[in-house]
Chain A
Amino acid sequence: MAAKSTWSEQVHRVLRTQNVRQIGYVPDSGLKRIIELVRADKKMCAVSLTTEEEGIALATGAWLGGERSAVLMQSSGVGNCINMLGMAIECRIPLLMIVTMRGQWAEFNPWQMPMAQATAAVLGAMGVIVQNVEAPDDIAETVAAAGKLAFNTNRAVAVAIAQRAIGTKAFK
């Protein structure tokens, strides 16, 4: 039996299976591997963003044009998206956000705390459905379920991947 695949490889496969083509992202160390996989995938179109809200608009344009999109970001980037999320909600654009959390498990950087602790609340306030995932083995399954929810029911869904699952950034 082959070595067990990582959650990043599993999530990449889920995105492929669900025909998610345009992947907007602002990097996070927890997203490093999946960004590499998406960039290397000729069937996908990776779009490096200058700010996360661009990804919400990108997903809206992609859907208008008949393509599925996902947006990858760190929890701090969620704050940049808030007003733009209003467009996705008002237009009932299916939106899949994959958010790697900071400001949780053994965080070192106090500047990460305010936005991280507000992430689920502000997403919820905008009408985005938030699905939290703590265990690495559950991440791909949660993304798959979130993708189905988003694309089958035209909703905005965010998967918040806990800092504990990814590992705490070491400042050394």
Chain B
Amino acid sequence: MSARKNGLDRRKAVAQILARRGNALVVTGLGAPTWDVAAAGDNDLNFYTWGGMGCAAMVGLGLALAQPKRRVIVITGDGEMLMAVGSLATIAVKQPRNLAIAVMDNGHYGETGMQATHTQFGVDLAGMAGAAGFRAAATVRTTAQLKTWIPRLYDNGPVFIDIKVTAENAPLVLPPRDGSLLKLRFRQALLGGA
């Protein structure tokens, strides 16, 4: 199968999702989703990951359980999510109403030379999330579908959307990368103090 030509623009999709974030807490998966979220505007309530591949959804769960009154949005990639498919089951069992996961699915490992991921061969991440027991899960292919699903990311969770985006890499927008700094500024913004 060849690289996907059609698909949504990842930067626009992430910007649209975050345009209505309010005081939501955002966790990013390593690589392009981290750059996408940084490009939409840095925020102390963004926890960018630069490593720990497969952590994003579970960091989101720990945060959602600790902060049940705040919306938690995880924005990650298809490769990162595939590494942590089991966490979909763990999350579904806990049913956090305030957690949403949006996968920017370009069908590739974009940081390492654009090797194909399983989603390019038909592996259905939204189907897996739905089968695990997410309250809502869908694959989003069009701007109209995205428009319909963005409000669902802020509604009763757990919600999962797999957004088919083009495989073109967007320009690098690098947020801070020191782990201690990212942790401290997030906690300070959320909890006050240090």
Bound complex: CA A63 to CA B63 (Å)? 8
Residue A49 lies at the interface, judged by CB distance under 8 Å to chain B: yes
Whether A64 touches B54, Cβ cut-off 8 Å, given contacts A22-B66, A92-B179, is no
Q: Chain B contacts of A90 at CB under 8 A?
A: 51, 179-180
Name A59-101 residues within 8 Å CB distance of B.
59-67, 69, 83-84, 86-87, 90-93
Which chain A residue shows the least CB distance to B50?
Answer: A90
Bound complex: CA A79 to CA B53 (Å)? 15
Q: Chain B contacts of A84 at CB under 8 A?
A: 52, 54-55
Q: Chain A contacts of B53 at CB under 8 A?
A: 83
Q: Chain B contacts of A69 at CB under 8 A?
A: 62
Which chain A residue shows the least CB distance to B45?
Answer: A64
Residue B19 lies at the interface, judged by CB distance under 8 Å to chain A: no
Bound complex: CA A126 to CA B145 (Å)? 44
Residue B89 lies at the interface, judged by CB distance under 8 Å to chain A: yes
Contact of B90 among A54, A64, A87 (CB under 8 A): A54
Whether A65 touches B55, Cβ cut-off 8 Å, given contacts A49-B90, A50-B86, is no
Q: Is the beta-carbon distance between A54 and B86 smaller than 8 angstroms?
A: yes
Residue A47 lies at the interface, judged by CB distance under 8 Å to chain B: yes
Q: How many residues of B contact A (CB 8 A)?
A: 36
Q: How many residues of A contact B (CB 8 A)?
A: 31
Q: How close is A79's CB to chain B, nearest CB, in angstroms?
A: 15
- Write the A19-33 contact mask toward B (1 if CB under 8 angstroms, else 0): 001100000000000
Residue B75 lies at the interface, judged by CB distance under 8 Å to chain A: no
Q: Chain B contacts of A87 at CB under 8 A?
A: 49, 51-52, 55, 179
Q: Is the beta-carbon distance between A50 and B90 smaller than 8 angstroms?
A: yes
Residue A51 lies at the interface, judged by CB distance under 8 Å to chain B: yes
Residue B182 lies at the interface, judged by CB distance under 8 Å to chain A: yes
Bound complex: CA A92 to CA B60 (Å)? 18
Q: Chain A contacts of B87 at CB under 8 A?
A: 50, 54, 57
Q: Is the beta-carbon distance between A53 and B54 smaller than 8 angstroms?
A: yes
User: Which of B101-109, B112-120, B158-166, B185-193 sits within the interface?
Assistant: B185-193
Q: Chain A contacts of B191 at CB under 8 A?
A: 66
B interface list, Cβ under 8 A from A: 25, 27, 47, 49, 51-67, 84, 86-87, 89-90, 93-94, 179-180, 182-183, 186-187, 190-191
A48-B90, A58-B61, A60-B62 given; name 12 further pairs at CB < 8 Å: A22-B66, A53-B55, A54-B58, A58-B58, A59-B62, A61-B62, A64-B62, A64-B63, A64-B66, A65-B66, A66-B66, A67-B65
Query: Nearest 3 pairs between A and B by C-beta?
Result: A61-B62, A65-B66, A50-B86
